[in-house]
Amino acid sequence: MRINKNFAIAAAFFAGLIASPLMQHMVSDAYADAPGLTASITDLLAIKHDDLPKTGNPDLNARPLVVTDNATVGIQSGNVAKHIHPQTDEIQYIIEGSGSMWLGKERKDFKPGSLIVIPKGTAHAGSIVSNGPVKAIAIKIPPQGKTDTVFVD
């Protein structure tokens, strides 16, 4: 029994040595096929709420700015009901507007310059706007899937 166990461990080790370069090559090829970024400068302060496309949420307009296999960066303006993203981390940087929003089980104040870190599974949004509309940069890691928004009370 001991010989079989040692043989299995050795075989797995050598299989890993052989597979490792193949896997690195396959992963590199997959990223090489992804569209590259384009150098650009965007004046986010000049973009107004009505300049952004409407979304499925009546009070939220948004547009993607950068899309990669690993993350997206977008600009959004408006409000959306409290929700979670079970599979996506989100980072928001507030450009304009102020108020309070749900972040987990607490209401938190935000204003221009606020950086909001929202780990996947954390309830957020449902803003009470004191000065708006609220405009933010939204970073989603990994890119948010179409079914990755679950509204909560």
Kindly write down the DSSP assignment for every residue of 80-109, as one continuous string: --SEE-SS-EEEEEEEEEEEEEEETTEEEE
Confidence band of 30 (pLDDT split at 50, 70, 90)? very low
Q: Pick from 105, 69, 34, 79: which is nearest to 92 by CA?
A: 79
Buried (b) or exposed (e) across 114-125, using 16+ Cβ within 10 A? eebebebeebbb
Dihedral over alpha carbons 16, 19, 20, 24 (to 10 degrees): -160
What integer pLDDT is reported at residue 106 of this predicted model? 97
Q: What percent of the chain has pLDDT over 70?
A: 76
Are 109 and 99 in contact, with CB atoms under 8 Å apart? yes
Specify whether domain 44-151 bears CATH 3.40.250.10.
Answer: no
Say what the pLDDT of residue 2 is.
55
User: What value does the mean pLDDT of the chain take?
Assistant: 85
What's residue 152's pLDDT? 95
Q: Residue ranges of the domains in the chain? A: 1-33, 44-151
Residues 74-120 pLDDT 10s: 999 999 999 999 999 999 999 999 999 999 999 999 999 999 999 99
* Residue 72 contacts residue 35 (beta carbons within 8 Å): no
